[in-house]
Amino acid sequence: MQIKPILSALRKHRLSTVLIALEIALACAVLCNACFIISQRIAAMHIVSGVDEAALASVQLTGYDSAQAADVDARALAALRAVPGVESVSPINSIPFGSRRGTAGISTDAAGEHFGGVIEFYVGGPGSLQTLGAKVIAGRAPQMDDFHAFTGFMPDEGSVQITQSLANHLWPGANPLGREFWVLKSHYRVVGVLKNLVRPDPTGWTPEQRQWSVFLPAQPGPYLTGSYLLRAHPGDLPRVLRDALAAVARAVPEVVIDREDSRTLTDLRHDVFKNDRAMAGMLVGVIAALLLVTALGIVGLASFWVQQRRKQIGIRRAIGATRGDILRYFQTENFLIVTFGIALGMVLAFAINLLLMQHYELPRLPLYYLPIGALALWVLGQLAVLGPALRAAAVPPVVATRSV
């Protein structure tokens, strides 16, 4: 196939060629960035929580007098533990995908000069880490003498378990066991490493920061009252949670049960990521609409050119060009236009990604999205031009040469 005659023909139709190429460039830029954002949303929705989600539920109480916290706590725990099917109940300040109650900035030195980041403290009573089902992969789990009394919103010292992700961030390449960190004057020592323990609100953080969590053992106190983690067999959990809420209502009638947060972790996870699902669905719709418009533009332009070139096609057929030659001509012509548009679109894709990085903290667009987007548009272009090209190839030489 001669490329030079094709380029010569395209120069005679500069405006329409440039418009289609710009449309393809825009489609390429939007396609690459939209697919990247969708992949980010899907990755967030499938984040590993590090706990036995299917077996866990949350019970949250409000509306009680803080002076009666100890009595409320005792009655609520007794009622929950008496519910048939309950395997364990533990007081804990936060749970994965629940309300955030333990966020704090830390430093790796007592003077506070080396900032370690903003992390999530899961402050739990005896048995709460086991109830969560979090896996200790190095060091040890909490022991009875690790549970200290509250001095504020949490104990001001303690032996803690941190996630592997946080350990890698604070002390990359080093053994985190025995290391120390501070929250203002509060001092903590790492005695265990957890494989994973996701933040209560993972959507508000970067992929690396979503696992920056610490488990801090604490004796039951006012900051744990009214927040309970319930464990049961996954098949019984909905029934157990329903019975547990009814039992608490009878045992502690003066409290208000927070029905919004008193749900299974599976339901809480579903709600946390509802905006991500909506965003992914919207972007899929945008991609589909944009590709449809691009394909229709290619079809329209190719059909117009076929109609304009009927006499030329007939002459070529009369001097020996086959239907395959005509078909390849239009497909090659379309391939060149799409390629030009893709080249421009790749530059535009990075420009859009830079804006998203600046204003929405999106990571840099990986390079492998560009060939994926190019391949998709090349295939789309060839499919879109196929119909008009086949019509051009089917024009009889005699009809073409006699046309006005």
Q: pLDDT tens digits, the chain, 404 residues: what are they?
A: 567 777 776 777 777 888 888 999 999 999 999 999 999 889 889 999 999 999 999 999 998 887 888 899 999 999 999 999 999 999 999 999 998 888 999 999 999 999 999 999 999 999 999 999 999 999 999 999 999 998 878 899 999 999 999 999 999 999 999 999 999 999 999 999 999 999 999 987 888 899 999 999 999 877 788 899 999 999 999 999 999 999 999 999 999 999 999 999 999 999 999 999 999 999 999 999 999 999 998 898 888 888 887 777 777 777 777 888 888 888 888 888 999 999 999 999 999 988 888 877 778 889 899 999 999 999 999 999 989 888 888 877 765 455 44
Residue 85 lies in a domain: no
Contact at 8 Å (CB) between 330 and 303? no
Are residues 324 and 397 located together in one domain of the fold? yes
Residue 194 lies in a domain: yes
Are residues 193 and 302 located together in one domain of the fold? no
Residue 179 lies in a domain: yes
Contact at 8 Å (CB) between 306 and 9? no
Coil vs helix vs strand at 40: helix
d(Cα 373, Cα 381) in Å, to the nearest integer?
Answer: 12
Residue 60 lies in a domain: no
Contact at 8 Å (CB) between 31 and 39? no
DSSP 67: G
Place of tokens 């949250």: 60
Of 197, 223, 249, which one is at a domain's C-terminal end? 223
Are residues 27 and 105 located together in one domain of the fold? no
DSSP 109: S
Contact at 8 Å (CB) between 236 and 135? no
DSSP 148: B
d(Cα 289, Cα 302) in Å, to the nearest integer?
Answer: 20
Contact at 8 Å (CB) between 177 and 188? no
Are residues 31 and 137 located together in one domain of the fold? no
Are residues 183 and 282 located together in one domain of the fold? no
d(Cα 94, Cα 107) in Å, to the nearest integer?
Answer: 22
Q: Dump the DSSP string for 359-403.
A: HH-PPPPPTTHHHHHHHHHHHHHHHHHHHHHHHHHT--HHHHHH-
Of 194, 223, 252, which one is at a domain's C-terminal end? 223
Residue 216 CA: distances (Å) to CA of 57, 288, 340 = 20, 48, 58
Indicate the pairing of strand 180-183 with strand 136-139.
unpaired
Indicate the pairing of strand 180-183 with strand 213-217.
unpaired
d(Cα 91, Cα 218) in Å, to the nearest integer?
Answer: 10
Residue 251 lies in a domain: no
Indicate the pairing of strand 136-139 with strand 186-194.
antiparallel
Residue 139 lies in a domain: yes
Residue 156 lies in a domain: yes
Of 180, 200, 223, which one is at a domain's C-terminal end? 223
Coil vs helix vs strand at 160: strand
d(Cα 3, Cα 179) in Å, to the nearest integer?
Answer: 67
- Computed from CA positions of residues 280, 370, 5, 396, in that sequence, does the dihedral angle turn out positive or negative? negative
- Looking at residue 40, its amino acid is Q
Are residues 309 and 216 located together in one domain of the fold? no
Its pTM stands at 0.81
Residue 58 lies in a domain: no
Residue 100 CA: distances (Å) to CA of 21, 104, 201, 204 = 49, 11, 7, 11
Domain count across the chain: 2
Are residues 192 and 299 located together in one domain of the fold? no
Q: CA angle, corner 46, sides to 43 and 50, nearest 5?
A: 120
d(Cα 191, Cα 358) in Å, to the nearest integer?
Answer: 38
Show the domain range for 379: 3-45+275-402
Are residues 185 and 291 located together in one domain of the fold? no
Token output for 301: 């332009």
Token output for 165: 């992700």
